[in-house]
């Protein structure tokens, strides 16, 4: 499953993303999860829970899907993507 994930601040950490997606129950589980699962950030294996994720990046999480980090749309932004 491919999903857009809106990054509401400058960035979100990988550990925060895993928690927000309910992949893990607490931030403390992130280190363990990343050692046990092959999570890819832009096609590269990533094991750092503090990895900063910015709009434009792609995260692949086993059994959860592929997530594209996107910036929030500005109010009144009617731009259409091609």
- The whole domain housing 29 covers 2-70
Report yes or no on 8 lying in a domain.
yes
pTM: 0.85
Say how many domains are in the chain.
1
Give the DSSP H or E segment for 54. Answer: none
Report yes or no on 78 lying in a domain.
no
| CA distances, 22 to each of 17, 25, 44, 48, 64 (Å) | 9, 6, 22, 18, 10
* CATH number of the domain enclosing 40: 3.10.290.10
User: Distance between CA atoms of 59 and 16, rounded to whole angstroms?
Assistant: 13
Query: pLDDT digit of tens for each residue in the chain (82 aa)?
Result: 689 999 999 999 999 999 999 999 998 899 999 999 999 999 999 999 999 999 999 999 999 999 999 998 777 655 555 4
Judged by DSSP in three states, 22 sits in coil
């Amino acid at each position: 499953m491919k999903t857009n994930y809106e990054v509401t601040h400058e960035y979100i950490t990988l550990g925060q993303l895993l928690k927000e997606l309910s992949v893990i129950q607490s931030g403390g589980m992130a280190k363990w999860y990343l050692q046990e699962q092959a999570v890819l950030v832009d096609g590269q294996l990533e094991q750092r829970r503090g990895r900063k994720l910015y709009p434009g990046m792609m995260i692949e999480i086993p059994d959860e899907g592929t997530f594209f980090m996107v910036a929030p749309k500005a109010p009144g932004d009617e731009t259409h993507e091609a």
